[in-house]
Chains A and B, each alone.
Chain A
């Protein structure tokens, strides 16, 4: 082998070693999530099961699109038949890097649908804008979600949701406090709720130790809420009240993650004047490449 050939092979080997991870402008992500929950003290509800698939693409850090599809079933007590619903979602985002504002503005547009036999079809449009400063120590966001509940293409009612987000790092950069507040109006009713979350980023992490631990909850009350982060629309009339959860996320590899969440949500069923709890556990697996 000549010196030139040796050099060529050497260069090629180095190129392959370095380039393999970052040579692309496009990134793909995918994830699967399974949730199982039991209802406690409910006169009607017994159990819920949901499985969802998420995937998306992004062009470097500039823009991206995510899709979610889910299948959920709600099992009832007595003679009420099980409700099965299909959920679909698409969320587009575009980052604008601003020097004058010393941070990044993100424009988000979410579009979510729910349909199924014996349920109202729900269509949600959710534009949102967030600002994150360059040192990633402060975030604010403002969003508006409009949901239409239809039965056989006939509009039953609309809900309007205003959401405001505040996130910041207190004391140390390994902690993040996020508070998302909701103001939801429908049928002349107004609900207000706030969702605080505390996350702890653990610097030393591998597949044994979690990289992020989070606890959070919900204060206030809300119905028909839409969550942009989880791409979820809560299409139930029951009023969600105080709730709490704990979650842990593990890095399986640099680009694959596993997370577990356990939580409890309290609801008020107005029709039956019944307070009940929904205790759930969720497992998610995600990867980016």
Chain B
């Protein structure tokens, strides 16, 4: 007597689960963003685990997982995520640019420079790739290379203070103090309160 009733309940339960499942998925994304906003990066990454474990792997979830692992200083996990994203989509500049960050955080400057170079091979004036490559050049004390690089990129982005800072640091390290002075003066025009420029000008201006 109860059998048909039980079957009906089971059917209704399965139907309800099926109908609410997209809502659960949507909540996973929402939870992840909420947790990130709260600074809980590891938990925000964990919220997306189902998207990167089950196939087909969600490419965006993988990229976001990499970013959140990088933000929570799990650099090896972030590198793994970004490399997996590159395997899924070898043309992804997002994955390649993302990959550079945890590699730089681990002080692997040559490897980071290699990936920045790979981005620039297909997108020659990609801003973030240039900035990250300059950070590598500075860390590796490639001052002459940094000077040439920063001055070329500064032509393309003349209003960008970050590039000017790299250029000024390269000038200082190669002993070109007058050029460094002129560059820091330009930075002060862009950011009047720029701490590094203010300090340098205070010490070196007559």
Instruction: Tell me the A residues contacting B by CB distance below 8 Å.
Output: 10-11, 14-15, 17-19, 21-25, 27, 60-62, 97, 99, 104, 134, 136, 203-206, 208-209, 211, 251, 253-255
Contacts and interface: CB of A to CB of B under 8 A. Distances in A.
Given A15-B121, A18-B149, A206-B175, A104 B110 contact: no
B75 A205 contact: no
A204 B107 contact: no
Nearest to A58: B110
Contacts of B120: 14-15, 18-19
B74 A14 contact: no
Given A25-B114, A99-B73, A17 B172 contact: no
Contacts, number: 81
Interface of B: 73-77, 105-111, 113-114, 116-117, 120-121, 124-125, 133, 136, 141-145, 149, 152, 172-175
A11 B74 contact: no
B121 A22 contact: no
B141 A22 contact: no
Nearest to A202: B173
A180 B51 CA distance: 50
Contacts of B113: 21-22
A204 B175 contact: yes
12 contacts: A15-B121, A18-B121, A18-B149, A19-B120, A22-B116, A97-B75, A97-B76, A104-B107, A134-B106, A203-B172, A204-B175, A209-B175
Contact of B141 (A25, A104, A136, A254): A254
Contacts of A11: 124
Given A61-B111, A254-B144, A14 B125 contact: yes
A11 B117 CA distance: 13
Given A204-B175, A206-B174, A134 B114 contact: no
